[in-house]
Structure 1
Amino acid sequence: MAARRVISPILKYFLFFVNFIFWLAGLGLMIIGAWVLNEKQKEVRDALDFFLDPSCVMCLTGSVTVFLAMVGGMGALRENQILLKIYHYTLSTILLGEIVLAVLLFVFYYVPDARTKLQLFPEKTFNDAIVKYRDDDDMKDLIDTIQEGLQCCGLSNTDEGYKDWNKNIYFNCTDDKSVIVSSESCSVPPSCCIRKAGDLINLQCGANALKQESSKIGNTIYTDGCIKALGTWIEAHALVVGGIALGILLPQVVLICLTRNFDDQISAQKSMWKRR
């Protein structure tokens, strides 16, 4: 009499098709990211250039997704336990990293003493981003998008984030005669400006902002740093943030559980064959 088959074909092909869809999505991200990089002829000089460039991030995300989806899909289709273990261990590691990141984000905004002791604020990275604002078009576009979206100015976690622009050679405000003065000296980028719908874009709205206190220019430009503005936005949209986090983490947990279950089914099937 033939041995009873305990492996679920529904679970097997469900895992395969889900991973096939992710494989296609990852491949699409890789192709688009590579095409954009080729069109821009961008030179990646350091980690900051890489991780703050959307096309580079798309290539990296696409590559990881393609690899994981291929391992998971082939592991399910061929009932290969080695591939399945690589798949769910890697997914579990990524999930753990995301949870740690969420905890660090909570500590950063709600436990200031711990934030200082753990040195969670990547100050050097943000300083480098400010310094390279005019030297890299991608960096400029990214910072402008962040400042306009979060209604902030500068990248620090303070009420006077706009003063971060003193670190950029083009906006630097100094009385030192040996320093070359640009037409934008003592100003902030136009993306810092408070603009209502229908208003004309005024490229000079941030002129001489670095010479003034935040209380005097609060009606003209945003003064909070973007890290502080992000914390304010998270507090105001806690349910939205929770929903997004759940939408990212829950599918990973389901995939990990289903893969572990499928792996156990294969082990049970092999044990049954050995007994017979």
Structure 2
Amino acid sequence: MSLEGGMKCVKYMLFFFNFIFWLCGLALIVVGILVQMSLHSTLMISDASASGAPIVIIAVGVVIFFIAFFGCCGAWKESYCMVTMFAILLSLVIIVQIAAAIAGYVFRNKVSDVVQDSLADMISRYSNSSAEFKAGVDAMQEDLKCCGVNNSSDWRSFQPDETSVPDSCCLNVSTNCGVGAMTDSAKVYQEGCRSAVEDLLRKNIQWVIIAALVLALVEIMGVVFACVLMRGIRSGYEVM
């Protein structure tokens, strides 16, 4: 059985859309990984709820990556069963993506509390943690040009003198530059990391939400093309 006329056009359109899906799946994987790395490596966010949306996005990206090949084969071979399965799987993926976008939006309202708790935990663990953990905290403070949670005084328990901060808090980082300089604005950043981390985290979550919703719209068009192609294939079989 071979499709003719408009159905052939739909067939090639579906094949083209599957190539786009393949690229979008790859893009979702990259976006999800970058956000996850930013949460736990750059921002040192340890709250498990923060990982929900990016992990779902990575999983959806992997699924789409493989579904796209399945859809291409179904369209090329004009297989009613394969195209039907493709449409069903893609519909399920759309539902999951919308759920991930909603979860990301809900998490945005928890950002302030999560950041406060994570940064406070970061400071309390700093002195007794591994060199890798300290390097991560130092890198965050240097990159964001901040010190402590709300201000530099959050490091009061860092040293017995209660006036010292990690060297990464210094405007110009050098060995022991933070000793006794907690309230010295000429040497140490006085603003805490909370607001900077919140802003960066919200931007990351926003990109996850945008990626999920934009791809969902594209996928809906793919489902429509798949349904039209299914109808054309079935009509061809009925004529035969």
| TM value normalised by structure 1 | 0.55
* Unmatched 5+ stretches in structure 2: 32-44, 76-81
Q: Which residue of 1 aligns with 2:123?
A: 130
Distance 1:50 1:142, change over 3 A: farther
Counterpart of 1:147, as a letter, is: Q
Aligned with residue 190 of structure 1, among 167, 173, 178: 167
Q: Indicate conservation of the 8 Å contact 1:209/1:217, yes or no.
A: yes
Change (3 A) 1:51 1:275: same
Q: Which residue of 1 aligns with 2:190?
A: 223
Structure-1 residue corresponding to 2:88: 85
Higher helix share: 2
Q: Aligned residue for 1:94? A: 97
After superposition, give the CA deviation of every residue in 1:95-118 in whole Å (9 maximum; x if it has no partner): 44235424643x468xxxxx7xxx
How far has the Cα of 1:69 moved from its partner? 0.7
The alignment yields a C-alpha RMSD, in angstroms, of 4.7
Give yes or no for the alignment of 1:143 onto 2:115: no
Equivalent residue, structure 2, for 1:177: none
Q: TM-score, normalised by structure 2?
A: 0.61
Q: Write the distance in 2 (CA, Å) between the matches of 1:92 and 1:275.
A: 32
Q: State the number of aligned residues.
A: 213
1:15 match? 17
**Identical residues among aligned pairs (%):** 19
Residue 177 of structure 2 corresponds to 205
Residues 78, 188 of structure 1: alpha-carbon distance in 2 compared, 3 angstrom cutoff: farther
- Matches of residues 1-276 of structure 1 in structure 2 within 5 Å? 4=4, 6=7, 8-21=10-23, 48=46, 65-79=61-75, 80=82, 81-102=84-105, 104-105=107-108, 107=109, 120-121=113-114, 123-133=116-126, 135-154=129-148, 156=149, 158=150, 160=151, 162-166=152-156, 171-173=158-160, 186-195=163-172, 201-210=173-182, 216-230=183-197, 248-249=211-212, 251-273=214-236, 276=239
Deviation string 1:147-179 (CA, Å, 9 cap, x unpaired) is 22222122x3x3x2x344356xxx2547xxxxx
Would you say the 8 A contact 1:27–1:62 is kept in 2? Answer: yes
Q: Is the 8 A contact 1:147 1:192 kept in 2?
A: yes
Shift of 1:189: 2.2
What SS does the aligned partner of 1:6 have? helix
